[in-house]
Amino acid sequence: MKFRALWQFTALGLGVLAHGVAASASLLDVRESIAVGVAPETAWKAVKNFDNMAWHPAVAATQLTAGRHNESQAVRLLTLKDGAKMTEQLREQDDAHMAQHYVMLDSPLPVTDYEASLAVVPGEGSGSVVTWQARFRRKEGAAMDDEAARKTISGIFAAGLGNLKQLLEAQR
């Protein structure tokens, strides 16, 4: 399946129920974008490597545990600065469109059925816009409601994108 088809699938809000989630579980959306004062190619170069999330301030280490660098089905283990671990799988990398699509396999976060995309597009002038978006469901029995789960993921995205902007613009 091509990235565009996956993107449209996500953008339309259609989802596949997995992991035995009841049909009544709400599908939640988060989308964060940031304008960065560097060329799109420069921004993409900073975020495209699935096995390197050094640009996110919460990530202490990224390790590729299966598959090959930036190839579909590669699996990464993120170790966060607080010691928590997350496992994610790359579904598609599209360098021509500066976008990637991945899923979360295991995480301490209060979410399940998590699918996300990270994309870079041209912005104003010679800048770019980096967008990180996800669809997920709140884990059954999580100690928070849907809005709190949404805010948790939104905060993670905003922190990462804010730090990315700071790092890239400092290199100009």
- Domain extent, residue 122, equals 3-16+26-170
What global pTM score does this model have?
Answer: 0.85
120/132 Cα distance (integer angstroms): 9
Average pLDDT over residues 99-126: 97
Please give the C-alpha separations between residue 102 and each of 50, 140, 150, in angstroms, as whole numbers.
9, 22, 18
- Would you place residue 172 in the very low, low, confident or very high pLDDT band (cuts 50, 70, 90)? confident
- Total number of domains constituting the chain: 1
Average pLDDT over residues 90-114: 97
Whether 70 has a pLDDT exceeding 70, the answer reads yes
Whether 2 has a pLDDT exceeding 80, the answer reads no
User: Beta 85-94 vs 75-80: how paired, if at all?
Assistant: antiparallel
33: Cβ–Cβ under 8 A, 6 or more apart, which residues? 129, 130, 131, 132, 161
**131 within domain boundaries:** yes
Alpha helices for the chain (secondary structure H): 3-11, 40-47, 146-170
pLDDT recorded at residue 15: 36
Whether 35 has a pLDDT exceeding 60, the answer reads yes
Average pLDDT over residues 56-74: 97
pLDDT recorded at residue 22: 42
132 and 157 Cβ atoms separated by less than 8 Å: yes
Residue linked to tokens 């409601």: 145
**21 within domain boundaries:** no
**151 within domain boundaries:** yes
152 and 144 Cβ atoms separated by less than 8 Å: yes
DSSP string, 7-26: HHHHHTT-----TT--TTSP
77 and 85 Cβ atoms separated by less than 8 Å: yes
pLDDT recorded at residue 115: 98
pLDDT recorded at residue 25: 74
pLDDT recorded at residue 13: 38
37/170 Cα distance (integer angstroms): 10
pLDDT recorded at residue 151: 96
CATH of the domain at 90: 3.30.530.20
Look at residue 43 and give its three-state secondary structure: helix
**147 within domain boundaries:** yes
**49 within domain boundaries:** yes
